[in-house]
Amino acid sequence: MKINMKKEIIRSKIKQIHEEALAASKKAVDDYLEKWNKETGGNQYNEPIYCGFGWVSLFNVRSNSNIGKAFQEIGFKRSYQKCLEFWNPSGYPGQSMDVKEESSRAYAKVLEKYGFKAYMSSRAD
Let me know: does 83 contact 57? Beta carbons within 8 Å: yes
- Is the pLDDT confidence value at 94 over 90? yes
Cβ-based burial of 47 (10 A; exposed 0-12, middle 13-18, buried ≥19):
buried
Q: What average pLDDT does range 73-99 have in this prediction?
A: 96
Residue 83 zone, left/alpha/beta (φ > 0; ψ -120 to 50; rest): beta
Where do the DSSP E strands lie in the chain?
52-59, 77-78, 84-87, 117-124
Please give the mean pLDDT across all residues of the chain.
95
1 — pLDDT class (breaks 50, 70, 90): very low
3-state secondary structure of 124: strand
- Is the pLDDT confidence value at 2 over 60? no
- Is the pLDDT confidence value at 89 over 60? yes
Closest-CA residue to 48 (of 67, 62, 29): 29
Within 13 Å and on the Cβ side, how many CA atoms surround 15? Answer: 7
- What was the pLDDT predicted at 40? 94
pTM: 0.94
- Would you kindly state where each structural domain of the chain is located, as residue ranges? 2-124
